[in-house]
Amino acid sequence: MSVLQVEEIGIAFGGVKAVDHVSFRVNEGDVFSIIGPNGAGKTTLFNLVSGVYQPKYGKVLLEGADVTGLEPQTLARRGLSRTFQNLQVFFRMTARENVMVGRHLKEKRGLLAHILALPATARQNRESAAAADAYLERVGLGGYADTPAAAMPYGALKRLEIARALAAGPKVLLLDEPAAGCNAVETEEIEKLVRNIADEGTTVVLVEHDMKMVMRISDRVHVLEFGKTLAEGTAEEVRTHPKVIEAYLGTHGSKEAAVALG
Amino acid sequence: MRKLMSNRLAVPAFLALLVVGLAFVMPSNFYFRVAALVWISALAVIGLNLLMGFAGQVSLGHAGFFGLGAYSVAILPAQFGLHPVIALIAGGAGCALLAFVVGRPILRLKGHYLAVATLGFGILVSMVISNEAWLTGGPDGMPVPRLALFGWRARGADTWYWITGGLMVIGALLAVNLVASPTGRALRALHDSEVAARVVGVDVGCYKLIVFVISAVYASVAGSALALVNGFITPDAAGFLHSIQLVTMVVLGGMGSILGSVVGAAVLVVLPQALTVFHDYEHLMLGFMMMAFMILLRSGIVPSLSMLIGGRRA
Amino acid sequence: MAEFLQFCASGLTVGAVYALVALGFTIIYNASDVVNFAQGEFVMIGGMTTVFATAAGVPLPIAVLIAILAAMVIGLLLHRLAIEPARGASPVTLIIITIGASIFLRGLAQIVFDKQFHSLPAFSGDTPINIGGALVLPQSFWVLGGAVVIVIALWAFFNRTVTGKAVLATAANRLAARLVGINTSFVIGLSFVLSAAIGAIAGILVTPITLTSYDIGTLLALKGFAAAMLGGMGNPIGAIVGGLLVGLLEAFGAGYISSTYKDAMAFIVILGVLFVMPGGLLGRASVERV
């Protein structure tokens, strides 16, 4: 059974069909990539799946259960978390605190205990901090724990978002351009990390522009253009799909495309 | 030293020392009285800072809660014979309930819409207080019964200095506890990015409501304390200008700084006291100060100072 | 029916003043994102200056000009001395600055003028005109007519002149406006001067009906702000609709419900509207971009 299933989903903004009857299924433990030219509707699709936008029609199923239109915080409880294309980091907090927020659902939340700083709260804080440190270590940010997020470099913030999303313990993790703006070394590290996350059983849905990375790590690739599905298949199938090449480079560029994508 | 500075309890401990220490250098009852007024404002400002500085939600109507707290220790004992301490608690509970009810729709708003909604709420409260003269004495205000505990009567500026100072330190302690807890992290997170907080499971609406209710209770208790200290209360306590003073204290002291809340309150309570000699120029001076402070110290006194000293924490 | 018309007339008259205040808010907000709580003080300056100038023997038309000029100078000073130096400050900080300016101007008026209520003689006499049984003061027509003239003049300014289009461009995108060579600081200063003039004119026109004093600004600013938000912040049509609506609601509320809570109507309505429509009556629903 697929862990995440999207059926005929769509939304329009002022008459523009940003996402138009898109369907796909993601198998557990897979890396599932969504690609397409700029403005194809990839991020909008993510916003629909993660509950940030309400779809106009269509369904989202998480582990077989209909979760269409649920709020992001409810989806988080059901095991779906995500990162953002434009950094959404808690800049006024340290790296460790950022990831500790990711532990939110695992924390004991008794307001009175918090205000009175009961021993249980101190214990909870220590637990969350330890867990956060482990996640920071895992994404390679162990040295940044006490650094205010505002003082961290861009590439590190990209990974901080991943650590925070992982801390929520998701079954399905949506990563929106995790390598955007990163240099070659950083991109390689993120690629390794994504592969590693999937190998440990967390399903990854990926939006990414770095085609080399997508082609290397994806189990399946879904191609969007103008909000519609263009093609879906394995990396190899998509790479050689004539419509995909046309979408990316136009009819005339297909020869060069074969070289570029290959 | 650095370790001491970074301890959560450093600020409340410092404030407790300040309350005790200042008591030894106060030259007269007048100074005790002014200091008590500072502690009272500081208490309300700490609460408002939790809402504004930490959770990032503006309220231009918090004097409404302050006024309700003040009038509850005036009205409840007079009308129902309640003990002032019970009245204070009832006022706090009432404000919590009111904040819970109005907070849900208000806090869905953002930016200037949130500002105008909280402003409208505060103005409505102050209008009700001014207009329902049969209950509140109208624009002229009403007397507040003296506080007596087990036959001991609270009177004298120094007594109130200690009571209000104690309340303020407790308020600061509870606030730093909250900030350092999972709830505090959720609040700070939604300030920076609501959507990022939501996707890791933070129920943003619920947390905004929690902090709104908490800040309303702070304002209410501070209002009750002011009424008891003065023995008299007027609708000005709930008015728009007072709401703005509270907001100015938060920003002047430093958003998200508990110590700053006390500093901001101190500056805006003490300076006008010093300026009363200029009588006719009072408004002129107050307006000028508000503009000058905001232009010159826009990130707040405490954060500006701590940046200057080179420490990271405020 | 006569009663209904009577409330309509008084509501529209006061509403026109709110509409002009709300329009002032909108012009400044669009150009600079600043919510100028000193907007009500321009209305006060217009009325008070005219009152004191005519009392000093200056003929009314010249007194009116002096008052409008005074407000414009103060608007410019407000921008140059308080808003410009605080560029880049947070919205809350800017709100505090403009409220500080409003308190400052009130304090100044209390010294330069006095603390009494003042009136002006009506421009065309005090004989009410009977419209369907409702008695309407001739001055009401001055207020409504003045508001209409101002709105038309603004429309022409924004759509027919290069300077006006520069203001619109700045409102649409400040950075882009600067890149195409528009002096945005000048444009923002202009928006303050323009708003000050509009406020002053409203103050002069309405003083024969509602009287004026040094402290009328606060409530006017708050109601004007509520009216601007009611229509949807940044929307000039919304500001006019919101202002008239608040005026009518006050008149009908005072007439049919309770005159004690006349001043509360604006705030009750805005809370009600915002609870149902978080973007105001004519506001657009915004989509979060992440």
Strand partners, B148: B153
pLDDT at A259: 55
Calpha distance B153→C274 (Å, rounded) = 47
pLDDT value, residue C143:
95
Chain C residues within 8 A of A53 when measuring between CB atoms: 287
Find the mean pLDDT for residues A6-25.
91
**Which residue in C160, C166, C209 sits closest to C43, CA to CA?**
C209
pLDDT tens for B112-168 read: 889 989 999 999 999 999 999 999 999 999 999 888 777 677 678 889 999 999 999
Q: Is C285 on the interface with B (CB under 8 A)?
A: no
Q: Which of C262, C259, C278 is nearest to C270 (CA)?
A: C278
Three-state secondary structure string covering B79-145: HHCCCHHHHHHHHHHHHHHHHHHHHHHHCCCCHHHHHHHHHHHHHHHHHHHHHCHHHHCHHHCEECC
User: B299 falls in which pLDDT band (50, 70, 90)?
Assistant: confident
What residues 206-265 of chain B have any CB closer than 8 A to a CB of chain C? 240-241, 244, 247-248, 251
pLDDT at C44: 97
The confidence band for B314, taking pLDDT boundaries of 50, 70 and 90, is very low
Among B4-13, B265-274, C17-26, the range scoring the smallest mean pLDDT is: B4-13
* Predicted ipTM of the assembly: 0.90
Which residues have a Cβ under 8 Å from the Cβ of A126 and sit 6 or more positions away?
none
Distance from the Cα of B280 to chain C's closest Cα (Å) equals 7
Beta-carbon neighbour count of residue C169 at 10 Å?
17
Predicted local distance difference test score (pLDDT) of residue B34: 95
- What is the average pLDDT across B212-240? 96
On whether the CB atoms of residues A167 and A140 are closer than 8 A, the answer is: no
**Closest chain A residue to C284 measured between Cα atoms?**
A14
- What integer pLDDT is reported at residue A261 of this predicted model? 56
Task: State pLDDT tens for residues A146-175.
Answer: 999 999 999 899 999 999 999 999 999 999
Assign A201 to helix, strand or coil. coil
Taking the C-alpha atoms of residue B147 and residue B84, their distance in angstroms, rounded to an integer, is: 6
Q: Which domains does chain C have, with CATH numbers?
A: 2-276 (1.10.3470)
Among A94, A24, A105, A98, CA closest to A58: A24
Q: Which amino acid does the sequence have at A189? A: E
Exposed, middle or buried: residue C178 (CB in 10 Å: 0-12, 13-18, 19+)? middle
- How far apart are the CA of A13 and the nearest CA of chain C, in angstroms? 9
Residue C125 is given by DSSP the state -
Instruction: Determine the Cα–Cα distance for residues A81 and A175; give it in Å rounded to an integer.
Output: 9
Judge: C110–B240 Cβ closer than 8 Å, yes or no: no
Beta-carbon separation of B183 and A91 below 8 A: no
Q: Do B124 and C280 touch (CB under 8 A)?
A: no
Cα-Cα-Cα-Cα torsion C82, C86, C92, C96, nearest 10 degrees, comes to: -20
Domains and CATH numbers, chain A: 1-79+170-262 (3.40.50.300), 90-169 (no CATH)
* pLDDT band with cut points at 50, 70 and 90 for residue A258: low
Q: Residues of B at the A interface (Cβ-Cβ below 8 Å)?
A: 8, 174, 177-178, 180-186, 188-189, 191-193, 195-204, 210, 214, 256, 312
Q: How many CB pairs under 8 A join A and B?
A: 110
Task: Work out the mean pLDDT of chain A and round it to a whole number.
Answer: 90
Task: Locate C167 and state its tokens.
Answer: 């203001």
> Are C290 and A52 a contacting pair at CB < 8 A?
yes
**What beta strand segments (E) does chain C contain?**
129-131, 134-136
Tell me the three state secondary structure of residue A206: strand
DSSP classification of residue C81: I
Q: Do B251 and C226 touch (CB under 8 A)?
A: no
Share of chain B above pLDDT 70, in %: 96
Rounded Cα–Cα distance for residues C258 and A165 (Å): 55
Q: What pLDDT shows up at residue B1? A: 41
CA distance to partner chain A, nearest, from residue C290 (Å):
6
Contact residues on chain A for B195, CB-CB shorter than 8 A: 52, 72, 84, 88
Pick the residue of C93, C105, C260 with the most B CBs within 10 A to test the interface with B by mutation: C93
Choose, out of B60, B200, B290, the residue to mutate when testing the contact with C (most C CBs < 10 Å).
B290
Contact B199 A72 (CB under 8 A): yes
Considering only CA atoms, which of A81, A99, A245 is closest in space to residue A174?
A81
pLDDT digits (tens, 9 = 90+) for C66-112: 999 999 999 999 999 999 999 888 888 999 999 999 999 999 999 99
CB of A23 less than 8 A from some CB of C? no
Give dist(CA A158, CA A174) in Å, integer.
13
Report the SS3 class of residue C134. Answer: strand
Residue A26 CA to residue A60 CA, distance in Å, equals: 12
Q: Per CB distance under 8 Å, which residues of A are interface residues toward B?
A: 50, 52, 71-73, 75-77, 81-82, 84, 88-93, 97-98, 100-102, 104-105, 107-109, 111, 113-117, 121, 124-125, 128, 148, 161, 164-165, 167-168
List, edge to edge, every strand of the sheet that includes A65-66: A16-27, A2-13, A57-62, A65-66
pLDDT of A37 strictly over 70: yes
Partner-chain contact A92 B191, CB within 8 Å: yes
**Higher pLDDT among residues C126 and B6, named by residue:** C126
Q: Which residue has the tokens 């600061």?
A: B172
Surface-to-core class of residue A37, CB atoms within 10 Å of its CB (0-12 exposed, 13-18 middle, 19+ buried): middle
* pLDDT band, very low/low/confident/very high, at A257 (cuts 50, 70, 90): low
Q: Which residues lie closer than 8 Å to C89 by C-beta, 6 or more apart?
A: B294, B295, B298, C97
Rounded distance, CA A64 to CA A77, Å? 15
The enclosing H or E element of C75 equals: helix C60-77
Low-confidence stretches of chain C (pLDDT < 70) are 283-290
pLDDT at B147: 84
Count of B-C CB contacts under 8 Å: 131
Burial of A198 per CB tally in 10 Å (0-12, 13-18, 19+):
buried
Question: Choosing among A49, A91, A107, A114, which should be mutated to test the B contact, i.e. which has the most B CBs within 10 A?
Answer: A114
Q: Nearest-CA distance from C92 to chain B in Å?
A: 8
Residue B276 parent element (H or E): none
pLDDT at B313: 45
| B-interface mutation test, from C229, C246, C276, most B Cβ less than 10 A away | C229
Dihedral sign from CA coordinates of C229, C232, C238, C241: negative
The verdict on B275 touching C (C-beta cutoff 8 Å) is no
Give tens-digit pLDDT for B188-210.
999 999 999 999 999 999 999 99
Q: A176 — phi, psi (to 5°)?
A: -100, 100
Min CA distance, A49 vs chain C (Å)?
13
Task: Out of C100, C103, C266, name the one closest to residue B294 (CB).
Answer: C100
Q: How confident is the model at residue B311 (pLDDT cuts 50, 70, 90)?
A: low
Q: What residues 160-189 of chain B have any CB closer than 8 A to a CB of chain C? A: none
Contact between A88 and C290 using a beta-carbon 8 Å cutoff:
yes
Question: How near does any CA of chain B get to the CA of A196, in Å?
Answer: 21
DSSP A55: -
Residues 75-134 of C with CB under 8 A from B: 82, 85-86, 89-97, 99-108, 110-111
Spell out which residues of chain B touch residue C263, defining contact as CB-CB under 8 Å: 127
CB atoms within 10 A of CB A38: 6
Res. A20: pLDDT tops 60: yes
Question: Does the beta carbon of B291 lie under 8 angstroms from any beta carbon of chain C?
Answer: yes
Interface contacts A/C by beta carbons within 8 Å: 11
Residue B200 in contact with residue A101, Cβ under 8 Å? yes
